Structure formats: structure tokens, C-alpha cells
């Protein structure tokens, strides 16, 4: 394994970790303190660790055949399995928003819009 280290940034958390080349995005997330829910711990069974990369971003190695089969067309939209994608450069990763946080955020945005309407 290479000893080169790269910064992996996570949004919307705004956290990052500096990890060795070849580290999985899931391990990088854990290093950064970003929670990505999983059930299979990297065995490609749960598919819960999907993250999104900027299309064409080069900070991870190309997917192996097994990951290609699991993700299909989603790969074209920058989706990768965090447990399989290996870091090989600086990269920004978008993690799925927690459903509860999403519900709270949407409620706050709706409330803000209503408040703005009455001003």
C-alpha cells in the first residue's frame, strides 16, 4: 500500500480526514467522525453505504466488477459504495442525509418561508 496521504472531505457534515492511499471511503468517514450507516460491514450485502462523488472526480480508484454489478447505472451519477471505493487522491464525498435531520431541515425551511411571507 502506498504511503501517500490524501484529504477526504465530507458534505454536508463539513468534516474531513487525511488518510492513506487505498483507504476505503467508509474508513475515511469513520476517521473523520462522519457516520455512514451500514449493516454488512463492507461485504457488499446491505448497499446502505452509498455516497455520491462529483462526476469525473478522480480521487478514488475505479470500481471493481462486483461493485459495478451492484450499482449499475447509478455509477454514471457518481454513486459509489463507501466500503469499496478506495482513496487515491484528494476528494469530496457527499453522504446521504439522515432521514430525521432531513425532516427537521425541511420543516425549518418551510417555517422560514412562512415567516418571510408575513414580513
Among residues 7, 20, 31, 46, which is the contact residue for ligand FES, using CB under 6 A?
A: 46
74 and 13 Cβ atoms separated by less than 8 Å: no
Look up residue 51 and give its three cell numbers. Answer: 455516497
Nearest to 83, CA basis, from 7, 16, 24, 21: 24
* 49 makes contact with ligand FES (CB under 6 A): yes
* 27 makes contact with ligand FES (CB under 6 A): no
Among residues 44, 74, 75, 88, which is the contact residue for ligand FES, using CB under 6 A?
A: 44
Stretch that binds ligand FES, among 41-49, 51-59, 90-98, 102-110 (CB under 6 A): 41-49
Look up residue 84 and give its three cell numbers. Answer: 469499496
**What's phi and psi for 99, nearest 5 deg?**
-55, -40
| Residues near ligand FES, by CB under 6 A | 38, 40-42, 44-49, 81, 83
Amino acid at each position: 500500500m502506498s504511503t501517500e496521504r490524501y484529504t477526504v472531505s465530507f458534505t454536508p457534515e463539513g468534516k474531513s480526514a487525511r488518510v492513506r492511499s487505498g483507504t476505503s471511503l467508509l474508513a475515511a468517514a469513520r476517521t473523520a467522525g462522519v457516520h455512514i450507516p451500514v449493516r454488512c460491514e463492507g461485504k457488499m450485502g446491505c448497499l446502505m453505504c452509498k455516497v455520491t462523488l462529483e462526476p469525473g472526480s478522480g480521487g478514488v480508484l475505479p470500481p471493481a466488477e462486483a461493485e459495478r454489478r451492484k450499482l449499475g447505472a447509478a455509477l454514471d451519477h457518481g454513486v459509489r459504495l463507501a466500503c469499496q471505493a478506495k482513496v487515491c487522491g484528494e476528494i469530496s464525498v457527499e453522504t446521504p442525509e439522515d432521514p430525521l435531520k432531513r425532516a427537521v431541515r425541511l420543516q425549518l425551511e418551510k417555517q422560514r418561508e412562512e415567516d418571510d411571507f408575513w414580513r
